[in-house]
Structure 1
Amino acid sequence: MAIITRRTRLGAGIALAATAALLLTSCSGGSTPGGSDGGDAPKSATATSVKDFGSFADLEAAAKKEGQLNVIALPHDWANYGAILDAFKKKYPEITINEQSPDVSSKEEIDAAKTNKGLDTAPDVFDLGLAVALSSTDVFAPYKVQTWDDIPAELKEPTGLFVGDYGGYMSIGYDSSKFPEPKSLDDLKGAKFKGSVAINGDPTQAGAAFAAIGLATVQSDGTLDDFQPGIDYFAELQKAGNFLKVDPTPATVASGETPVVFDWDYLNTAYSKDVKSWKVTVLPGTGYAGYYNQAINKDATHPAAARLWQEFLYSDEGQNLYLAGGARPARMEAMTKAGTIDEKLASALPKAPEKTVVPTEKQSTDAGTLLGEKWAAAIQ
């Protein structure tokens, strides 16, 4: 299945619970990092934890000496990355963040690393779906942040090559001033939702749209082994005149052009900043989940800054900033127990479904093939 823009990239790639655990245990670990940072490169580029620097203060000093950090695929309206980047800049004004190609896909992040290998423009860090992370471990440097033990085992590759950082559930966002809360998929077939229901992209290319079909499949008593029930559902929605063939953006939501949207709950939640009547619901029953992963480029030009960035993202501050964007941080359970989670933000999250599913690689591949064959005809 192809992957396109960052906004619609393959979010189903990060698994929760057993699915992720199975995939991660099949991943081979251990790559040899490289890179250069003006004198401290060998130690910084091969460091697998803060201990290899000596102390956290030593890591900070090494990163400040490098003075720069190259990030890629971090749009400011995605999972609160605008605020996260600003917070890191404020905390470390000595480090200039170079933001590259915010809307590229996970695969394009890896392509950029390979194309720019040896150049000071290569990305130092990645933010990736699991499918791409699993196939790109030869590009990563293993590193375990100080809060490693707080991260659920099913969300991290055992050696630290890549680690889940934030995620959420496929949800339905809607303008509550115009529509009642949808309690089931059948509600969206009603006359009240005429020409109003959009998905985020083309499911043959876009991850969020792909996940919408997956959600429709399991909510229609199907399984992820066969996405046909999900395709049939949207065909029915199209036949009823309720399916809207417009890709939602903050602008289309604000204008009312896309008043009902299938999307990740943290992206749907972000729309409420501009539309005060915008609400988000995660349907009861079986839900569809996805997480994203952090990884460090083994050839990072700024290896110490890359590791400091990871430490920041997995700190209480970084994790609460993801939460402020409506995403569920990887350390949420541990932080809740420790009393360091922002309880107000946590309580504002849509209620989690009773059961969660995420497709395996084979299920994703099979579903992509099926969608390629049948999607276009289904919504004509």
Structure 2
Amino acid sequence: MQRREFARNLLGTALLLNGFGASSVFAAPAGGRAIVYNCPAEWGGWGDMLKMIKAETGIEVPVDNKNSGQAISQILAEAKNPVADAAYLGISFAINAQKQGLVENYQGEGWKRVPEGLKDPNGAWVSVHAGTVGLMVNKEALEDLPVPQGWNDLLDPKYEGMVGFLDPSSAFVGYACALAVNKGMGGTLDNFQPAIEYFKKLNELSPIVPKQTAYARCLSGEIPILFDYDFDAYRARYVDKAPIEFVIPMEGTIQVPYVMSLVKNAPHKANGQKVIDFVLSEKGQKLWADNFLRPVVGELSKISPEAAAKFLPDSEYARAGSIDYARMAEVQAAFSEAYLQAMKS
């Protein structure tokens, strides 16, 4: 499947990206360990990735169920005696963590392969994959209701109590989804009032707002309609065989990268570095692609033909645009404050 126009929007770089080196830099002593905050086994292919990291490098990385906001709060609390070696974060959280001095630069083999624009030039963070925001819909849980086709559809009282989204003030996916709503409603990164008004209306319809991944709750039907990424929806449908449909809202949406950073004064620094390099290796990027995530190294065709054939058509993805990630980080605190205030009123 050809996704070159999507690649232009996502990467903002030439279509042909940096290639992979042939040599391996991942050898680690048996029994090695690295702590990576925010790597839930049921989200984004991390369960498979952690197994592969152990098999290929000898480094054991325990599952960690924090979200981006919780990860940053923990790193900040542990700053004098760090526990984590690396963190997997939404890009705006990583940029703000850099400003707070919580991460340190690492320009490793993986960082070198990632195109400009998808990494901090000094190595404070590096993108590892990307996804598109939309609606993950459990069709069976809807019973006789139609599958919603846009953000505005969800304001219909017939969907009361059926819509879920992660807390935009805590989880990066929640914040990304809120900005996708804002874009769809005509807002900008300098004007998020359209999203605030939208969530005030949605809040009157008893939405479900967890702070951490709600993937399993959507599969079970507890949350029939979940704001989430395409990769989660495709995994649910094609791997977990759930009655899930992914919808790219008719009003528009965004695609965003997720990144990794090395924690400042990491206790197992070398292993943390190897983990970051591995997820950006050919094997690591292929695993992301096979889990329906967009690779950031190599051509976008690194997604296997079998996986690519299961994506929505390019015409649907044309409604997904990129945004200014630095500005996304700058306005995050203000958005969170406005959102929380609106939910109280």
Give the structure-1-normalised TM-score: 0.71
Number of residue pairs aligned between Structure 1 and Structure 2: 314
Q: Which moved more, 1:206-215 or 1:158-167?
A: 206-215
Relative to 1, partners in 2 of residues 1:116 and 1:17: Cα closer, same or farther, differing over 3 Å?
Answer: same
Alignment deviations for residues 303-344 of structure 1 (CA, whole Å, 9 cap, x no partner): 43333322221122211222233322222xx333xx643122
The corresponding residue for 2:259 is 293
Shift of 1:134: 2.7
Residue pairs, 1:196-211, within 5 angstroms: 196-201=162-167, 203-211=168-176
| Percentage of pairs with the same residue | 22
Residue pairs, 1:142-157, within 5 angstroms: 142-145=106-109, 148-149=112-113, 151-157=114-120
* Backbone CA RMSD of aligned residues: 3.3
Give the structure-2-normalised TM-score: 0.77
Matching of residue 230 in structure 1 with residue 195 in structure 2: yes
The corresponding residue for 2:43 is 78
The corresponding residue for 1:189 is 155
What CA distance in whole angstroms lies between the structure 1 residues aligned with 2:170 and 2:130? 20
The corresponding residue for 1:369 is 337
Of the three residues 116, 126, 132, the one matched with 1:169 is 132
Alignment deviations for residues 254-284 of structure 1 (CA, whole Å, 9 cap, x no partner): 3322101112333344443546211111224
Of the three residues 324, 328, 337, the one matched with 1:360 is 328
Shift of 1:156: 0.6
Residue pairs, 1:99-118, within 5 angstroms: 99=62, 101-103=64-66, 105-108=70-73, 110-111=75-76, 114-117=79-82
User: In the alignment, residue 151 of structure 2 is paired with which amino acid?
Assistant: L
Shift of 1:89: 1.6
Alignment deviations for residues 143-173 of structure 1 (CA, whole Å, 9 cap, x no partner): 2325734x22111112323211122122111
Relative to 1, partners in 2 of residues 1:176 and 1:91: Cα closer, same or farther, differing over 3 Å?
Answer: same
The corresponding residue for 1:282 is 248
Contact 1:170/1:262 (8 A) holds in 2: yes
Contact 1:72/1:99 (8 A) holds in 2: no
The corresponding residue for 1:130 is 91
What CA distance in whole angstroms lies between the structure 1 residues aligned with 2:126 and 2:226? 29
The corresponding residue for 1:33 is none
Contact 1:144/1:159 (8 A) holds in 2: no
Relative to 1, partners in 2 of residues 1:111 and 1:325: Cα closer, same or farther, differing over 3 Å?
Answer: farther
Where does the alignment leave 5 or more consecutive residues of structure 1 unmatched? 1-14, 21-50
Relative to 1, partners in 2 of residues 1:355 and 1:103: Cα closer, same or farther, differing over 3 Å?
Answer: closer
Relative to 1, partners in 2 of residues 1:341 and 1:219: Cα closer, same or farther, differing over 3 Å?
Answer: closer
The corresponding residue for 1:140 is 104
Residue pairs, 1:231-380, within 5 angstroms: 231-239=196-204, 241=205, 243-247=206-210, 249-272=214-237, 273-274=239-240, 276-297=242-263, 299-331=265-297, 334-336=298-300, 340-350=302-312, 351-352=316-317, 353-358=319-324, 359-377=327-345
The corresponding residue for 1:212 is 177
Structure 2 residue matching 1:317: 3-state secondary structure: helix
Structure 1 residue matching 2:339: 3-state secondary structure: helix
Contact 1:261/1:268 (8 A) holds in 2: no
The corresponding residue for 2:18 is none
Structure 2 residue matching 1:262: 3-state secondary structure: strand
Contact 2:131/2:230 (8 A) holds in 1: yes
User: In the alignment, residue 108 of structure 2 is paired with which amino acid?
Assistant: K
User: In the alignment, residue 341 of structure 1 is paired with which amino acid?
Assistant: I
Shift of 1:83: 0.2
Relative to 1, partners in 2 of residues 1:134 and 1:276: Cα closer, same or farther, differing over 3 Å?
Answer: closer
Relative to 1, partners in 2 of residues 1:210 and 1:159: Cα closer, same or farther, differing over 3 Å?
Answer: closer
Relative to 1, partners in 2 of residues 1:369 and 1:316: Cα closer, same or farther, differing over 3 Å?
Answer: same
Contact 2:43/2:232 (8 A) holds in 1: yes
Structure number, greater radius of gyration: 1
User: In the alignment, residue 195 of structure 2 is paired with which amino acid?
Assistant: G
Relative to 1, partners in 2 of residues 1:250 and 1:131: Cα closer, same or farther, differing over 3 Å?
Answer: closer
